[in-house]
Structure 1
Amino acid sequence: MPEQTLTAADTPTVRLGYHGSTEVAARIIRLAGRDEATVRLSEYDVADPFRGIRAGELDVMIVKFGINEPDLVTSRVLTQDARAVVVGSQHPLATRESVSIEELADYDAFAPPGTFPTYVWDEVVPPRTPAGRPIRRNRRVDTIPEMRRLIAAGEAIHISLISLADVARPPGTRVVPIHDLPPAPVTLAWLRDSEVHDHVRDFITTAETEASR
């Protein structure tokens, strides 16, 4: 870990985009040697994930899995986020300690929301299991509250990430680990052709250095 944590009095604010749980964001902020008061967290809409970074409202954003956007650059992998499924609290899988992705082919899952890149969604919610069973990605929603409502009602499951345990709480839902999918690599992304200010560059490079230790 860094020897010294920079406080709000020492450095300008980094505008950091995230989605869902703040746990992964906090992990990256620690890697960057920052006090959380030096970082302004902004939750981006998963239905239009790159709008804020492209509009200049964010300096960097957290992305999970690999992205292939010509106008964006990504850091080295900083951490990982294990896989999990979000189910309703009354779902048959809700009391399990872990599940296999093969079992999840028995239930309705979600199609990509909004303009979320299909190639990334294929990593989040694979179209098929390793054994070749199709995942039923037939539920379409425009908002996260709508997704949560369907999950809580037992009408669909969401194949996702373990960090969502911070935001998907009982009584409506449960987060169950998936033991046979690899974790998602987590990186930072920023605009390729924009000026990266020194304090933002320091945030990125320090996080990369600490992650490689």
Structure 2
Amino acid sequence: MTRPLRAAAPETTRPIRFGVHGSSRLAERIVTAIGYGREEIEFVPYDVMEPFRPLRDGRMDLMIVKYGLLEPDIVSSRPVAFDGRAVLVSASHPLARRDTVSVEDVAAYDAFTCPGDFPPYVWDKVVPPTTPGGLPIRRVHPMTTLQAMAAILTRTDAVHLSFQSLDMVVPPEIRVVPVHDLPAAPVSLAWLRDRRPSPGVAAFIFDAERGMEL
């Protein structure tokens, strides 16, 4: 597929600071698809416990978000990608041996609670309180860091409903199994409402949105 030419923008003296959580794989795909070089982007990790702090503190220019945001001080782009749904389990878990699973099967195991300042209305889409078939998903384990989550997964039969983009960063003892009956999550770019994007950042947002139109 032919991608659009990059929007013209003045040269900048520093890379675009692009916020990511867990894995930069999805962000790297977006960057590559719209023709930007790796040297033009600085990936800035953010903590799921305080996802918007680096943006509000001025340590990143924009960040990846999934699903729609209702934060009054943050603006989101149109979807620029989609991330397939998956469940994270230990390598010894009964679901780990399957090629794909149903979210109805996932509901048989304990899941994770909404972490810290993460928006509960978004977490309800990441880890829904009930399945489409009406089964409750028991959100009982604390979500703090990826390392702590992996430790809980390896010592229990817990599951974490998440995204396929994590399949390159989880430790060997964790499996990422696609969930075939949950729709892929829309992925957008977000930035502060009262902080106008620089010309270079604005051009990147434009190119990312245009890329989804082709």
TM-score scaled by length of structure 2: 0.93
> What pairs with 1:85-124 in structure 2 (closer than 5 Å)?
85-124=87-126
Q: 2:70 is matched with which residue? A: 68
For the Cα contact (< 8 Å) 2:104–2:131, is it kept in 1?
yes
Q: 2:44 is matched with which residue? A: 42
Give 1:142 shift: 2.6
Q: 1:144 is matched with which residue? A: 146
> What pairs with 1:116-135 in structure 2 (closer than 5 Å)?
116-135=118-137
The yes-or-no answer on 1:156 pairing with 2:180 is: no
Q: 1:185 is matched with which residue? A: 186
Distance (Å, rounded) in 1 between the aligned partners of 2:21 and 2:130: 25
Change (3 A) 1:206 1:149: same
Distance (Å, rounded) in 1 between the aligned partners of 2:193 and 2:105: 40
Q: Which runs of 4+ in 1 moved over 3 A?
A: 2-6
Distance (Å, rounded) in 2 between the aligned partners of 1:11 and 1:50: 24
CA deviations on 1:82-113 (whole Å, 9 max, x unpaired) are 00000000000101000000011110000011
Distance (Å, rounded) in 2 between the aligned partners of 1:124 and 1:117: 11
Distance (Å, rounded) in 2 between the aligned partners of 1:168 and 1:89: 11
Q: 1:198 is matched with which residue? A: 199
The yes-or-no answer on 1:207 pairing with 2:208 is: yes
Distance (Å, rounded) in 1 between the aligned partners of 2:134 and 2:57: 40
For the Cα contact (< 8 Å) 1:81–1:185, is it kept in 2?
yes
The yes-or-no answer on 1:174 pairing with 2:175 is: yes
Distance (Å, rounded) in 1 between the aligned partners of 2:60 and 2:34: 17
Which of 20, 23, 26 is residue 21 of structure 1 equivalent to? 23
For the Cα contact (< 8 Å) 1:151–1:157, is it kept in 2?
yes
CA deviations on 1:58-92 (whole Å, 9 max, x unpaired) are 10000011111110001110010000000000000
Q: Secondary structure at the match of 1:93?
A: helix
Distance (Å, rounded) in 2 between the aligned partners of 1:175 and 1:155: 14
Q: 2:54 is matched with which residue? A: 52
For the Cα contact (< 8 Å) 2:89–2:96, is it kept in 1?
yes
Give 1:31 shift: 3.6
Q: Secondary structure at the match of 1:176?
A: strand
Change (3 A) 1:77 1:100: same
Q: Secondary structure at the match of 1:201?
A: helix
RMSD (CA atoms) = 1.6
Distance (Å, rounded) in 1 between the aligned partners of 2:110 and 2:203: 43
The yes-or-no answer on 1:78 pairing with 2:80 is: yes
For the Cα contact (< 8 Å) 1:102–1:131, is it kept in 2?
yes
Task: Using the aligned pairs only, state the percent identity.
Answer: 47
Give 1:141 shift: 3.5
Unaligned residue ranges in structure 1 (runs of 5+)? none
- The letter of the residue matching 1:114 is G
Unaligned residue ranges in structure 2 (runs of 5+)? none
CA deviations on 1:21-51 (whole Å, 9 max, x unpaired) are 2111111212442101110001100111000
Q: Secondary structure at the match of 1:185?
A: strand
Q: How many residues align?
A: 209
